[in-house]
Amino acid sequence: MPYTKVIQQLKENLQVAYRQAIDCDIRLDELRKAGHGKFVAIFTEEHGFSQSSNRFLPYVQELATEFETIQESVHTAPETIEVFVKKLAILLQTLQAFKQQSK
């Protein structure tokens, strides 16, 4: 696979996103119990996700599925990786912003 180092870095960042998503989803549950967080989805279709959820884990799961496809593919188009990286970046940025604002 020509993207070995890139794939490894993506895997590590996806693992970070997973751990942060668990923490943020717990915080979202707390906010919902307090009567806040009455939104339908975290991301819109414009962000590139096919999922629509008011929790972070479904988005991480979507990326994990895409990542498996990238890993298993013999020839992955650079555009495919670019789209994946953009979605992973927006997820990580949103997780970080949520953690900062919900302290």
**87 alpha-carbon distance from chain centroid:** 7
Cβ atoms 93, 22 nearer than 8 A: no
Q: Tell me the pLDDT band of 82, cut-offs 50, 70 and 90.
A: very high
pLDDT greater than 70 at residue 78: yes
For the chain, the domains span 4-101
At 36 the pLDDT is 83
Q: How far apart are CA 65 and CA 98, in angstroms?
A: 24
Mean pLDDT score of the chain: 92
What pLDDT digit, counting tens, does each position of 11-52 carry? 999 999 999 999 999 999 998 898 887 788 999 889 999 999
pLDDT for 2: 61
CB-CB neighbours of 88 under 10 Å? 20
